[in-house]
Amino acid sequence: MNFTRVQAHRGASGYAPENTMAAFKKAVDMKADGIELDVHLSKDGHLIVMHDETLNRTSNGKGLIASYTLEELKTLDAGSWFGKEFKGEKIPTLNEVLEFICKTELFINVEIKAGYRIYPNIEEKVLACLQKYNMLDRCIISSFDHYSLFRVKELNSNVKTGLLYGASLYEPWEYAKSVKVNALHPLYLTLDKHFIEGAYAHNLDINTYTVNDEKVMGELAAARISGIITNYPDKAKKIVSEIQE
């Protein structure tokens, strides 16, 4: 098995509409090691899989996800914007994705969008959902909201968490300790040799986003990065295998 694990970002979102079952199924077909997805809460408290907090870009709906019930969200088309062959693709719930993924070998990276200030108790709901599908030991929970990650650890200290950020932080392993995360999830542009060595010396994995350039994939595989988060899992898997086998 290769050292670097490839995560399909919002599913295999280079080939199918992001954060839909079509994109997650493609990720499995392409033999990704894991999938990444984003979650919000609907008006009636269901975990909804979508990237933006509004419906406008990736469905035929308008306005905030949080303004609609699950039943209302299920009437929307989340595929046509990407290509007419995906017409009728629905917005999935985290339950539906886990129901599918738990029967595969893949792990799941659940990115909590916004956190508890906007979505009260979203951390409890995500953990309960993962537990229902027996996925607590095959997941990592990530967020740009670091209070949300800290809350996850308070609720279950065994669950792995990943610190998302896009800036060039100074020695982030020190900060990572206070948030109690297991991994750093930096924007790939912030990475260099000093940073990679520093993180590994502090027992932190590095799963970097969003790497769609094949040259960069090659450099990261050569540097034995823990994880590559990409819209093109097939390309990353091929490059990682060539370099690490």
How far apart, in whole angstroms, are the C-alpha atoms of residue 123 and residue 234? Answer: 31
The three-state secondary structure class of 71 is: helix
**Binding-site residue total for ligand G3P (CB under 6 A)?**
11
- Give the nearest distance from C-beta 173 to ligand G3P in angstroms: 19
Query: Among residues 38 and 145, whose Cβ is nearest to Mg ion?
Result: 38
Which stretches of 90-155 are assigned E, i.e. beta strand? Answer: 107-112, 139-143
Give min distance, CB of 71 to ligand G3P, in A.
26
Q: Is 46 in the site for ligand G3P (CB under 6 A)?
A: no
Task: Indicate which residues carry an active-site annotation.
Answer: 9, 51
DSSP letter (8 states) at residue 212: -
The answer to the question of residue 38 lying near ligand G3P (CB under 6 A) is: yes
Q: Beta strand 227-230 with 205-208: parallel, antiparallel or unpaired?
A: parallel
Query: Rounded to a whole number, what is the distance in angstroms from the first to the last CA of the chain?
Result: 8
The CB-of-187 to ligand G3P minimum distance in angstroms stands at 8
* Angle separating helix axes 172-179 and 146-155, nearest 10 degrees: 40
Kindly state whether residue 89 participates in binding Mg ion, applying the rule CB under 5 A.
Answer: no
Question: What is the CA angle 141-145-148, rounded to 5?
Answer: 60
Binding mask 55-74 for ligand G3P (x = CB under 6 A): --------------------
Residue in 18, 111, 123, 234 binding Mg ion, rule: CB under 5 A: 111
Write each residue from 128 to 157 as x if it is in contact with ligand G3P (CB under 6 A), else as -, in one continuous string.
--------------x---------------
Nearer to ligand G3P by C-beta: 75 or 188? 188
DSSP type of residue 107: E
Asked if 6 is part of the footprint of ligand G3P (rule: CB under 6 A), the reply reads no
- Please give the Cα distance from 128 to 5 (Å, whole number): 25
In the beta sheet, which residues pair with residue 6?
228
Q: Which of residues 35-54 bind Mg ion (CB under 5 A)?
A: 38
CA pair distance 219, 215, nearest whole angstrom? 6
List contacts with ligand G3P (CB under 6 A): 9, 36, 38, 51, 111, 142, 164, 185, 209-210, 229
